[in-house]
Amino acid sequence: MSSSIRAPKGVAEYVAPSAEVFLAVREALVAPARLAGYGYQELPIFEDTELFVRGVGESTDVVSKEMFTFTDRGGRSLTLRPEGTAGAIRAIIQHGLDRAGLPVKVWYAGPCFRAERPQQGRFRQFSQVGVEAVGSEDPALDAEVVALADAGFRGLGLRNQRLLLNSLGCRSCRPGYREVLTGFLATLELDPATAERARLNPLRVLDDKRPELQAALVAAPLPIDHLCQECRDHYDQVREDLRVLGVRWQEAPRLVRGLDYYTRTAFEFVHDDLGAQSGIGGGGRYDGLMADLGGADLSGIGFGLGIDRTMLALAAEGVSPVTRPRCDVFAIPLGPIAKTRLLAIVAQLRAGGAAADLAFDNRALRGAMKAADRSGARLALILGDTELAADALVVKDLVTGAQRTVPLDTAAATVLADLTGLASPTPGDRPATSQQEEQK
Ligand code: HAM
């Protein structure tokens, strides 16, 4: 026998039932953005390497150490996307979306790839839900984007997350601050790697989590104290709007984020039950990105929320999102004629919006009943010779055990009506049926 092949190290992979949780989390994180006028973008998973070098920034860990880059047969350098923003902005430029009304508001979801050392909550393939809003500097838009992320997490029932907020300054005040910070860092004894980072992007040093460095940075100048008047006004208005929206945050004057494109508002949601990999989502404003990628000089703001870490956070809080049941009705034919009849009824049930399945392979009643239980179905349909002779079938409620006989020719309609009646669960009852889900 050949040896079995396992998934590559560090990829996030889900099978039932956690795959259903994955879908529910993705849906819930996206839902607020869809209600706020963000349109869907389906983006490529690999892009020209140059896009990330220019977009995310050469000095970032993501670009300098973590990209999965390969050469295609035509000799082009391509990279599996490490994040979604650069590709989303590229698509906006390529398709001229910014030539219609502004701001352009888009959302996307899908896998990202970073060659990080795998550990709990840190994957080499993970999934994000993201939004980008381009072409407006309005602080109300910053507040909207932050509030959408907040609503996504809350909608799932998550409670132990904290929103960290900072402002990083703009093209006019950042260079002055950078000089002051560089001057301060020059007074410290930094190891060679950190000194190099201080040379390439001194702001990133502020965010270093090592306690000895944090201690050395206690007196470091902070971006918030070097904002120009416009940035200060902008940040004040963002906070005012967040207050109005009822979003709570903590000031995080050392938050700079790991990607180079951020200006002004920067934010991160951290979850306190997750240990080292606590960032469940983050984002911010980016002034120069679109122009750097060859587009108009428009500012934008967005976020990326990590589906995998959100799932870990939900598990840590003991919250289970409502998932769509795999099966509402499980049909059990006893004999070939019964199978053909039930095959048709199952098709009618599916056409009517119910999740329905059938026992294949001529199972005996006992085994088929076990399969019905395993399927999670609320109702089982049983069709044997006795029922066939009476042109009827048995509908059994798998929760209460109650059963009744209904005419075959109207069975599908009857069962669909039964399911609608069962679709208002009492507290502690089984999760919602698929019809309920569809109405959401
Ligand atoms: P990011 O902070 O690099 O931002 O990633 C966003 C989220 O993706 C993180 O908060 C985390 O939940 C998840 N994530 C990142 N790396 C990993 C990993 N190795 N394993 C598991 N989850 C991970 C961005 O990607 C920006 N594009 C967000 C943005 C959009 N900024 C503006 N617009």
Q: What is the pLDDT of residue 398?
A: 97
pLDDT tens digits, residue range 139-189? 999 999 999 999 999 999 999 999 999 999 999 999 999 999 999 999 999
Q: Which two tokens stand for residue 248?
A: 């709570």
Looking at domain 329-439, what is its CATH homologous superfamily? Anticodon-binding domain (3.40.50.800)
pTM over 0.85: yes
Q: How far is the CA of 117 from the centre of ligand 1 (A)?
A: 15
Q: What are phi and psi of 94, to 5 degrees?
A: -60, -35
Q: Report the distance separating Cα 403 and Cα 378, nearest Å.
A: 12
Domain ranges within the chain, ordered by starting residue:
18-173+227-317, 329-439
Nearest Cα neighbor of 10 from 129, 126, 110 is: 126
Confidence of residue 439 (pLDDT cuts 50, 70, 90): very low
DSSP string, 75-131: S-EEEE-S-SHHHHHHHHHHTTGGGSSSSEEEEEEEEEE--PPPBTTB-SEEEEEEE
Q: How far is the CA of 226 from the centre of ligand 1 (A)?
A: 27
Given a contact cutoff of 8 angstroms between Cβ atoms, the answer to whether 55 and 81 are in contact is: no
Nearest Cα neighbor of 237 from 102, 138, 103, 133 is: 138
Treating both helix axes as pointing N-terminal to C-terminal, what angle do 18-35 and 307-317 enclose, rounded to 10 degrees?
A: 110
- pLDDT above 90 for 28: yes
Confidence of residue 433 (pLDDT cuts 50, 70, 90): very low
Given a contact cutoff of 8 angstroms between Cβ atoms, the answer to whether 91 and 81 are in contact is: no
Q: Which two tokens stand for residue 246?
A: 């009822």
Q: Report the distance separating Cα 250 and Cα 365, nearest Å.
A: 60
Q: Which two tokens stand for residue 154?
A: 């809350």
Q: Report the distance separating Cα 70 and Cα 181, nearest Å.
A: 37
Strands 263-271 and 161-167: antiparallel
Count of beta carbons in the 10 Å neighbourhood of residue 7: 9
How large is the average pLDDT for residues 374-400?
97
Confidence of residue 54 (pLDDT cuts 50, 70, 90): very high
Ligand 1: residue whose CA is nearest its atom 33 = 302
Residues with CB under 6 A from ligand 1: 83-85, 114, 116, 122-123, 126, 128, 130, 132, 258-259, 279-284, 302-304, 306, 308-309
Q: How far is the CA of 305 from the centre of ligand 1 (A)?
A: 6
18-173+227-317 has CATH 3.30.930.10 classification: yes
From 285, 309, 311, mutation site for ligand 1 pocket: most ligand atoms within 8 A of C-beta: 309
376: left (phi over 0), alpha (psi -120 to 50) or beta: left
- pLDDT above 80 for 428: no
* Bond from prior residue into 17 cis (ω within 30 degrees of 0): yes
Equal fold, 18-173+227-317 vs 329-439: no
Q: Which residues pair with 78 in a beta bridge?
A: 48, 70
**Collapsing DSSP states into helix, strand and coil, what is residue 63?**
helix
Confidence of residue 424 (pLDDT cuts 50, 70, 90): low
Given a contact cutoff of 8 angstroms between Cβ atoms, the answer to whether 360 and 410 are in contact is: no
